[in-house]
Amino acid sequence: MTFSYKSQNSSFFSVDSHDLSKSANADIRWQLSQSKLLLRITSAALCFAFVVVCLGAFTRLVHAGLGCPDWPGCYGHLTWPDSHHEIAAAEQAFPESPVDTSKTWPEMVHRYAASILGLLILIIAVVSVRVRLKKVDSSHPFWLPLGLLVLVICQALFGMYTVTLKLWPQVVTLHLLGGFATVSLLWLLALRLRTLVYIGRQKTAAKPIENTITSTSKSLQPRSLGFIKSLSWCAVAVVSFQIALGGWTASNYAGFACHDFPTCQNQIIPNMNFSEGFNLTQSIGPNYLGGLLEGPARTAIHVTHRIGAAVTLFIVLALAITLLRNTSLKKSSYFLMTVLTIQLVLGISNVLLAIPLTIALLHNLFGAILLLTVIYVSYQLISINKQTLISKSINN
Ligand code: HEM
């Protein structure tokens, strides 16, 4: 009896702990597969978000923002009115908005691309909630995917208000900022998932695998870490603010206020009206296509964007030099300087060449790349503190 009892008992405990470790291992493997899946979908969504931001800029730059007077359809169509018969019927239904086929398609292609992006973000949120409900790892991204879902819903609403409020600059700028925020959050999510996949691989590998995540702390002086982190967050804030100023410049059609550089209207200090140019409570006009502000107000906006560029140059360059001197993030530093230079050259070319479509599109794209680069640097600097936690988590 005793033997049998002992035997049963020990076998009971040994089987149980064995099963437990087996099931914990299975959980870790399951989460790793989900993280990998999420990383793939997030990377696809990130590429798609870039396309959507560029399509949005294209729509704005070819003045097609009001190409469809209604929302979500276009003159009541799922695509856009194409045949003579459809165009005649559309113009009868919307007598104040004659159909211009060169402006209907960019608007609708942008809307459909944004819808596909919304769908990808919905899938990301659903998979993330599923992983969280399994309660394997509480650090798995949960709020970030949900935040992205809320953001993309707000973006759809801003897209609607862009049309219904006739390109009111406040809404157009918020819509542009929302697009940049979507790209940034997807980028942040991809970076976090990459770290999780790395940790998961380490946990499940028979022997430790080579570290693919760049170590930032190799040559970093601890006392300068706090300063570099503050500088990197300052760079994120300054670049975001400069992007907002760029959106305000474009949505008020203030890019054409100065045709020369570094002077504006051949003067160092031209006639400017800042209170008019930055009056955020300006009324909703009948139609903002082409802008409604007076010359001095537009000049004030344009010049402020230039001052913002000078501040951006100062902060981002300071960050790049500090990274180069104190950290092993040398590649990021060179990349940062290259992107900043390209962006400044594109901005100046915009002025001197009277905003050609390709240059304006590239200026928009490089604004996004610059933002993602400073976010990447900040993320790498934060992960220095977390590296200890990561190695602890792998060893456990
Ligand atoms: C790092 C610095 C800069 C950033 C991050 C930045 C960002 C932006 C962004 C996001 C836009 C909106 C584009 C759009 O609506 O599609 C814009 C517009 C514009 N930027 Fe910049 N910019 C920078 C520097 C400059 C410089 C140095 C100049 C010229 C001296 C400049 C001139 C312009 C002009 C003229 C527009 C209006 C384009 C339009 O009407 O479509 N930018 N900028």
- Using DSSP's 3-state secondary structure scheme, residue 213 falls into coil
DSSP 193: H
Cα–Cα distance, 336 to 330 (Å, whole number): 10
For the CA of 367, the nearest atom of ligand 1: 5
Inform me whether the pLDDT recorded for 395 exceeds 80.
no
Cα–Cα distance, 224 to 380 (Å, whole number): 15
* Residue tagged 């045949």 (tokens): 83
Stronger pLDDT, 383 or 244, i.e. the higher one: 244
The radius of gyration of the chain's CA atoms, rounded to the nearest angstrom, is 26
Q: How far is the centre of ligand 1, averaged over its atoms, from the C-alpha of 352 (Å)?
A: 13
Q: What is the pLDDT of residue 174?
A: 95
Structure tokens at 116: 């596909």
Known catalytic residue at 107: yes
393 contacts: CB under 8 Å, gap ≥ 6: 199, 203
Q: How far is the centre of ligand 1, averaged over its atoms, from the C-alpha of 358 (Å)?
A: 13
pTM for this predicted structure: 0.87
Asked whether 179 lines ligand 1 (CB < 6 A), one says no
Q: What is the pLDDT of residue 144?
A: 97
134 vs 42, 125, 194, CA distance in Å?
Answer: 20, 15, 20
Asked whether 347 lines ligand 1 (CB < 6 A), one says yes
Structure tokens at 189: 């999510």
Q: What is the pLDDT of residue 5?
A: 33
Asked whether 247 lines ligand 1 (CB < 6 A), one says yes
Mean pLDDT over 223-242 rounds to 92
Q: Name which of 44-53, 98-107, 350-359, 362-371 the model is least confident about.
A: 98-107
| Number of alpha helices (DSSP H) and beta strands (DSSP E) in the chain | 10, 0
Question: What are the boundaries of each domain within the chain?
Answer: 26-81+99-213, 217-396
Q: How far is the centre of ligand 1, averaged over its atoms, from the C-alpha of 347 (Å)?
A: 5
The residue annotated as part of the active site, out of 91, 107, 276, 294, is 107
Asked whether 298 lines ligand 1 (CB < 6 A), one says no
Q: What is the pLDDT of residue 2?
A: 32
Q: What is the pLDDT of residue 268?
A: 95
Q: How confident is the model at residue 327 (pLDDT cuts 50, 70, 90)?
A: confident
Cα–Cα distance, 263 to 259 (Å, whole number): 9
Asked whether 31 lines ligand 1 (CB < 6 A), one says no
Mean pLDDT over 194-207 rounds to 81
Cα–Cα distance, 174 to 243 (Å, whole number): 11
